[in-house]
Amino acid sequence: MRLAGKKVLCLVDEEFEDLELWYPIYRVQEEGAVVHLAGPVSGKSYTGKYGVPAKADFAFADINIDEYDGLLVPGGWAPDKLRRYPEVLAFVRRMNEREKPIGQICHAGWVLISAKILDGRRVTSTPGIRDDMENAGAIWLDEPVVVDGHLVSSRRPPDLPAYAKAFCDRLAGV
């Protein structure tokens, strides 16, 4: 229970990648952290690409990001929607300023691109957005997980074990 007392915010919107949302949530909870899901509308159930639902505990507007120790951004098609919300970009920028762990997997890199926090940072993502990541100034690596300070990035579902462990390690201060 090395994450007891920690709070993590996970972002959600329609068509998130089911495993990329739920696997890290369960892993963080197994270590003792509390996880809240935030979406555009509080209490709304959002549907993943493969039909698994996720109900938002809070709306973006209800969140004080300073109350959280980490941020998880799932992949799928949701990141293309998430990056359009000013609150989401503010969350990412604030967590980056505070050097709190930010986990992003697959297409979630789009959110970090739109928050403009990737210049000079080492990251990975799905190879499909490699050009986007590099055009944002990132140094893109084709590895299962890349940790650059407080940023933890991963490529796709087969990399989830390494990604979730690395995120938990960062959250624990390891």
Confidence (pLDDT) at 159: 98
Confidence (pLDDT) at 21: 98
Instruction: Determine what percent of the chain is predicted with pLDDT higher than 70.
Output: 100
Instruction: Give me the residue spans of the domains in the chain.
Output: 7-172
Which residues are part of the catalytic machinery?
107
Residues 1-11: what's their mean pLDDT? Answer: 97
53-55 and 102-105 beta bridge pairing: unpaired
Residues 14-35: what's their mean pLDDT? Answer: 98
Residues 23-33: what's their mean pLDDT? Answer: 98
Global pTM reads: 0.97
CATH of segment(s) 7-172: 3.40.50.880
Distances 6 to 1, 22, 66, 105, 109 between C-alpha atoms, Å:
10, 18, 12, 21, 24
Q: Kindly state the greatest CA–CA separation across the chain.
A: 39
pLDDT band at 155 (very low <50, low <70, confident <90, very high): very high
Confidence (pLDDT) at 72: 98
Q: Give the whole-angstrom CA distance, residue 12 versus residue 153.
A: 17
Residues 31-47: what's their mean pLDDT? Answer: 98
Tell me: pLDDT of 53 over 80: yes
Confidence (pLDDT) at 108: 98
Mean predicted lDDT score pLDDT of the chain: 98
pLDDT in tens, 77-122: 999 999 999 999 999 999 999 999 999 999 999 999 999 999 999 9
Which of 116, 78, 80, 76 has its CA nearest to residue 96? 116
Tell me: pLDDT of 174 over 90: no
